Amino acid sequence: MRHKIRTRLGAIGALAALGLVAACGGGGASGGATGSSGPTEITFWTWTKGSAEVVDAFNALHTDVTVKFEQIPSGAAGGYTKMTNAIKAGNAPDVLNIEYPVLPDYVSQGSLADLTPHVGELKSKFPDQIRALTELGGKTWAVPLDASPMVLYYRKDFFDANGITPPKTWDDYKAAAAKVKQADPKARIGTFFPDDPGHFASLAWQAGGKWFGTSGDSWNVSIDDPKSKEVADYWQGLVSDDLVRVQSAFSQEWNASVKAGETVAYVGASWGAGSALRANQPDQAGKWAVAPIPNWGTPASGMYGGSTFAVTKDSKKVEAAVKFISWMTTNEQAITTRIGIAKSTMYPAAADMVPVAAKSFDNSFFGGQDAYSVYKDAAGTIKNGWTWGPSMFATNSTLKDSFGTVTSGGTLTDALGKAQKSTVDELKKRGLNVS
Amino acid sequence: MSVQKSHRGAATLLMAPFFALFLGTLVVPIGYAAYLSLFTERSSGLGFGGTETLFTGLGNYLHALGDPAFRAGFGVIAGYVLGYIPVMVGGALVLALLLDSTLARAKRFFQLTLYLPHAVPGIIAAIIWLYLYTPGLSPVVAAMREGGLTWNFLSSDHALSSVINISLWEWVGYNVVIFYAALQAIPREVVEAASVDGAGELRTALSIKLPMIQAAVVMTVLFTVIGALQLFTEPMILNGANPAVNTTWTPNMYAYDAAFRRGDYGVAAAASILLALVAALLSFVVTRIGNRKGAA
């Protein structure tokens, strides 16, 4: 019975693949990037800032591989839905943009090609810790673009004018939050994002929480572990005391309150400066500064988001795809293009590329401050040992729904408990081992 | 004989496009959904070895029915119907009767103006309303605050009313047009006879016009209830902004969440089939009640 449905999907996939091969006009050599009969055309979907420019640069330099780029909405805004549907329908592009948290989802759905045989030398360019997030079940499934260390962005003009110093610990953050509110009753130091569980997860990661782990052939799930609960209680307190706003991440509402100077700081990742702040608040250039993220006693960071590039299972051009991915993630010109020309502020995962990024970065938004040195310090403190689970879409759905009730009587700790239960249920339903 | 034959040929030819579309866009997808709903994807161990598709019988149906989130969706729909239908039907009736009364001026203008919101696609309407609901952006909220009225459209207590408001804006005008057309079909001599007998405008409206357009009202209620079961676009847009409107707020959203967030097409298909069954059952019941009332 199961063969029937498989063959059918397979047939659809094969038809679509035929269509693609036919469409690549004379590029007959499928799989071979160095075919003499013209360039291999690969397709690429992403939303990461600056990708259009990077693709243009790649195409201008390469004659054997041509990349057809398509901008898609960001993952949470529908990008992942689009990708999942395309994979299901058998008409997915060759190269996809997948963030670390949901990479295990795609791998466990059997959507991606095993890159292990293609990335031998490439792998050594990334720090072990980040590489580990792309290796699941002993195979390599994706190549990291950026690490996403977390920092505190703050309005230096507001902090200076009111004698507030950037908080070093989370206790300081709470005290600073009260001072901000006192200085201007309409202003708040930051935001709790109920629709963005990834943001909370990165804070739990920083505190030493560990939501998933594996022992042998089974999963350990502990979304409501003591450290994560501490973080939940802490933010619950900030919300109840009206010291932070509760708004959707990157929403018009949030942008408006930043614009109006009513949100004067933002706990975010390296990429947040380029994608969220600088892009939307050009008139606040020079007023912002970067500080290390507040911590629980010793400097530490989690990773908030961060992109990898993967190749889809049905792609017939894995070699060409890896060549392109390798260029995007570890070539100097790719990084200069993305950061210098396209104004991204991502922090490259490849260690060699960090100085390149720092050099191409235009720091006028931060009044001349060298943001990349802050990112670099933060990247050095990313806690080891975090693993993402195989059903983060389901986990995030539950978290998002229950975080949403934080302003109407729900608590964040309850939310963690619910997510724990629904995640274990989901894993069991899929037939995975849970211990 | 041959005439009849050629008639039949013409009928087949003319109806073929309808049946082709009916088959291709309704029957086949429903059949495919029913088929999908019988299978589930299973992995093993840590799950990194891909998935296999297994026959599960009614397993997906039991899963959906056993899921409190799915059942809660029907509760939301019930609340929505109870809040929405009386206001919508009542409002549309009042407006249609006003348009139809001898006192009305500029009828064409009002008909067009009332209908206009319906010409705006639902998703655009929802996005516009989201903007009008958002504090700090919305001129409406700002004006209300100036006037001393603080109402947060996006707070969780006001989820249902905020969705109902969008639906009202979209649909009242449309139903006014339906009711007005029905009112126009009432023979003028009946209305004249009533006024000769001394009935005023109000009396005529309540005792003559309303009973005579009952069929149109029943039909509108039927369509509205079925439409309510499919509630999706507006809450989907409010989903990110209003915490109470969660990802599985209505049965349709539950199916969407299952398919496109959890990647569980089997449960999504089962939930959709269940929803279709409820809609079919409800149409049957409402039509029966409508018919009995009409006959009595």
The strand pair at A265-269 and A288-292 is best described as unpaired
Q: State the number of CA atoms in the 13 A half-sphere of A80 facing the CB.
A: 21
Q: What is the pLDDT of residue A146?
A: 95
- SS3 at position A112: strand
Q: Do A253 and B46 touch (CB under 8 A)?
A: no
* Tokens 């250039």 sit on residue: A285
What ipTM does the predicted assembly reach? 0.75
pLDDT confidence bin for A16, thresholds 50/70/90: very low
Q: What angle do CA A227, A231, A234 make, to 5 degrees?
A: 135
Q: State whether residue B22 sits within 8 Å of chain A by CB.
A: no
Residue A14 has pLDDT above 50, yes or no: no
Q: What is the pLDDT of residue B293?
A: 59
The string of pLDDT tens digits covering residues A47-81 is 998 999 999 999 999 999 999 999 999 888 889 98
DSSP letters for A239-299: HHTT-SEE--TT-HHHHHHHHTTSB-EEEEEHHHIIIIIIHH-GGGTTSEEEEEPPBSSS-
Using a CB-CB distance cutoff of 8 angstroms, which residues of chain A are in contact with residue B47? 104, 108, 390, 427, 430-432
Question: Rounded to a whole number, what is the distance in Å from the CA of B259 to chain A's nearest CA?
Answer: 9
Check: pTM over 0.90? Answer yes or no: no
Residue A144 has pLDDT above 90, yes or no: yes
Q: What single letter denotes the amino acid at residue A411?
A: T
Question: Rounded to a whole number, what is the distance in Å from the CA of A328 to chain B's nearest CA?
Answer: 26
The pair of structure tokens assigned to B202 is: 């109000």
The string of pLDDT tens digits covering residues A337-387 is 999 999 999 999 999 999 999 999 999 999 999 999 999 999 999 999 899
A19: left (phi over 0), alpha (psi -120 to 50) or beta: alpha
Write the burial class of residue A199 (CB in 10 Å: 0-12 exposed, 13-18 middle, 19+ buried). buried
CA distance A124 to A122: 6
Nearest to A249 by CA among A191, A288, A201, A169: A191
Residues in contact with A137: Cβ distance below 8 Å, sequence separation at least 6, in sequence order: A107, B46, B48, B49
Interface mutation target, options B48, B62, B242, chain A, most CBs of A under 10 Å: B48
Q: Do A431 and B43 touch (CB under 8 A)?
A: yes
Q: Read off the DSSP letter of residue A338.
A: I
Q: What is the pLDDT of residue A182?
A: 96
Residue A418 has pLDDT above 70, yes or no: yes
Residue ranges of the alpha helices (H) in chain B?
A: 2-22, 28-36, 59-66, 68-100, 107-119, 122-133, 139-146, 159-184, 188-196, 201-203, 210-212, 214-229, 233-238, 251-260, 265-295
Q: Considering chain A, what is the average pLDDT of its residues?
A: 90
Nearest to A279 by CA among A291, A271, A267, A289: A271
Give the one of B42, B53, B246 whose C-beta lies nearest to A5's C-beta.
Answer: B53
Q: What single letter denotes the amino acid at residue B73?
A: G
- SS3 at position A221: strand
Q: State whether residue B155 sits within 8 Å of chain A by CB.
A: yes
The string of pLDDT tens digits covering residues A295-309 is 999 999 999 999 999
Q: What is the pLDDT of residue A338?
A: 95
Q: With a cut of 50, which residues of chain B have pLDDT below it?
A: 296
Q: What is the pLDDT of residue B261?
A: 82
Q: What is the pLDDT of residue A37?
A: 67
Q: Read off the DSSP letter of residue A166.
A: P
Question: Rounded to a whole number, what is the distance in Å from the CA of B201 to chain A's nearest CA?
Answer: 48
The pair of structure tokens assigned to B155 is: 């707070």
What are A214's strand-pairing partners?
A: A219
Q: What is the pLDDT of residue B107?
A: 86
CA distance B39 to B265: 9
Give the one of A110, A195, A397 whose C-beta lies nearest to B50's C-beta.
Answer: A110
CA distance B112 to B135: 31
Cβ(A63)–Cβ(A354) under 8 Å? no
Residue ranges of the alpha helices (H) in B104-153?
A: 107-119, 122-133, 139-146
Q: State whether residue B18 sits within 8 Å of chain A by CB.
A: no
Q: What is the pLDDT of residue B126?
A: 93
Interface mutation target, options A253, A259, A391, A411, chain B, most CBs of B under 10 Å: A253
Cβ(A274)–Cβ(A164) under 8 Å? no
Which residues in A42-74 are b (16+ Cβ under 10 Å) and which e? bbbbbbbbbbebbbebbbeebebbbbebeebeb
- The arithmetic mean of pLDDT across residues A26-53, rounded, is 72
Q: Do A390 and B240 touch (CB under 8 A)?
A: no
Checking B103-112 for CB contacts under 8 A at 24+ apart, the result is B103/B201, B111/B176, B111/B177, B111/B180
Question: Rounded to a whole number, what is the distance in Å from the CA of B52 to chain A's nearest CA?
Answer: 7
Torsions phi, psi for B39 (to 5 deg): -120, 155
The string of pLDDT tens digits covering residues A403-414 is 988 888 889 999
Cβ(A375)–Cβ(A369) under 8 Å? no
Taking the CB of residue A26, how many other CB atoms lie within 10 A of it? 10
The string of pLDDT tens digits covering residues A229-283 is 999 999 999 999 999 999 889 888 899 999 999 999 999 999 999 888 998 999 9
Torsions phi, psi for B177 (to 5 deg): -60, -45
Nearest to A374 by CA among A268, A264, A267, A270: A270
- SS3 at position A163: coil
CA distance B136 to A307: 32
Q: What is the pLDDT of residue B294?
A: 53
Give the one of A85, A251, A403 whose C-beta lies nearest to B240's C-beta.
Answer: A251
Q: State whether residue B52 sits within 8 Å of chain A by CB.
A: yes
Q: State whether residue B152 sits within 8 Å of chain A by CB.
A: no
Nearest to A269 by CA among A292, A235, A298: A292
Q: What single letter denotes the amino acid at residue A121?
A: E
pLDDT confidence bin for A391, thresholds 50/70/90: very high
Residue ranges of the alpha helices (H) in A92-219?
A: 103-108, 128-132, 156-161, 170-183, 197-207
Torsions phi, psi for A148 (to 5 deg): -130, 70
The pair of structure tokens assigned to A333 is: 């010109």
Nearest to A204 by CA among A76, A333, A296, A78: A296
Nearest to A270 by CA among A385, A400, A357: A357
Run of H or E residues at A354: helix A353-360
Q: Considering chain B, what is the average pLDDT of its residues?
A: 89
CA distance A203 to A182: 26
CA distances from residue A406 to A235, A265, A413, B155, B218 in whole angstroms, order as listed: 10, 21, 10, 11, 42
The string of pLDDT tens digits covering residues B119-168 is 999 899 999 999 999 887 889 988 998 888 888 888 878 899 999 999 99
The strand pair at A139-140 and A288-292 is best described as unpaired
- SS3 at position A184: coil
Torsions phi, psi for A382 (to 5 deg): -60, 130
